[in-house]
Amino acid sequence: MGTSEAEYAAFEEKVKRTVYLDNISPQVTESVMRTALSQFGNVKSVQFIPNYLESRNIPHCALVEMENPKQASVIVKEIAEFPFMILGMPRPVRARPAVANMFDERPAMPGRQIECHWLEPEDPNFEVAKKLKELHGRHTAEAAFLLKKQLEEEEKLAKMQNETLKANYKKYEMVDSVMSDGTARRLARRYNIRVSDD
């Protein structure tokens, strides 16, 4: 199957050209993404990874295919170095090189054959398989818990930052008002301090 191998090779090339971005706001659309990343190179395609399972609206992820692997790696590097924000502050997006399994339409790995068979209850491995199933259930539960925890943490952080921001804003407003209504000047006169810039 020469064609499928070639196809897979082409696909692997594509993977190398692609950047995986997450922590994206749901408001970000494809065009936003394109404009945001076009400063790093030519964006060939943008594909958001749909989220079918998690009940919550977790931050979006996207695969952005660039023109060549170099541009992709530049994006990953730049975004790792400087917090990069798309459509909102201060939560930065995060970029990583894409992995084959992230892609939706991907060719099967050539030379791989899938086998599957039923295990009957009398089979000695049946119990093992049962255990494995249980284990899998536990693992998924653990992963789900971690995800929940992570979202909670993020929420907490966001709330905290919101508080700081508000406080900061209040501070600046107060400084502004003190300056504008003449309080500062009056105080300065009293304490004999020069305030004016002139």
Partner 1 sequence: MEQDTRTEKLEFTWGKKKGKGGKNKDVQFYESFTFDGEEYTLYDCVYLYKEDEPEPEIGKLIKIWETGEKTRKVKVLWFFRPCEISNFLGCEEVLENELFLASGDGVGLANLNPLEAIAGKCNVLCISKDKENPQPSDEELQMAEFVFRRTFDVGLQKITDKIEGAIAGIDVKFMFNRRDIQKPGGVLKVDLGKNEVCGNSIASNETVVLSNKNSFKENITLETNGNIVDSSTLEKGDLVKHKPSLVEKPAYGVGLNSNEKDKMNEKQEHVSNPKVLLSSEVKSDEGEVKCGKVHAQQVEVEEKVMFTKDNVDSDNRPTKKAKLDNGKGSEQILAKVERKKKCTNVCDSKAKNDTSIEVVNDKKNSSDLSCMNVTKVVSPNVPVEVDHGQSKKPKLESSIEVPNDKSKSSDLKHVNATKVLSSSTSALDDKSKLKRAKDSLGTNNALLKKMKLDDKAMTISEGNNGKLPKASQRKVKHVEDSRGANEESCKKIKLDEKAMAPCDGKLPKVPPTQSQSMAEKVDGQEVTRRPDVVTEALKWRGRRGTQDHAQPFTTEWKFMMERILVEMGENDGDNEHVLLIPTFHTVLEPWEDRIQAAHEQGTLVLLQNLDPAYTSAQVEDILWHGFKESCTAKMIQRTANSSPHYGQALVILKTREAAQKVVRELDKRCLLLSNGRPLVGSFGTPCSSEKKAPFFGHLTIEKLRHQNAREMKEAISTSHCSQPNTIEYDMAMEWCLQQERSDLLWRNLYKVLEIFIVI
Residues 170, 40: Cα–Cα separation, whole Å: 37
Smaller CB distance to partner 1: residue 9 or 195?
9
Tokens read off for 189: 């006169």
As a whole number of Å, the CA-based R_g of the chain is 27
60-66 sheet: strands from edge to edge: 43-49, 60-66, 18-24, 94-97
To partner 1, the closest distance from the beta carbon of 195 in angstroms equals 24
To partner 1, the closest distance from the beta carbon of 115 in angstroms equals 4
Smaller CB distance to partner 1: residue 121 or 193?
121
Residue located via tokens 């060719």: 107
To partner 1, the closest distance from the beta carbon of 158 in angstroms equals 4
Smaller CB distance to partner 1: residue 104 or 197?
104
Q: Which residues contact 188 (CB under 8 A, 6 or more apart)?
A: 194, 195
The DSSP output letter for 198 is -
Smaller CB distance to partner 1: residue 25 or 68?
25
To partner 1, the closest distance from the beta carbon of 196 in angstroms equals 25
Tokens read off for 56: 């919550």
Residue 40 and residue 81 in contact, taking contact as beta carbons nearer than 8 Å: no
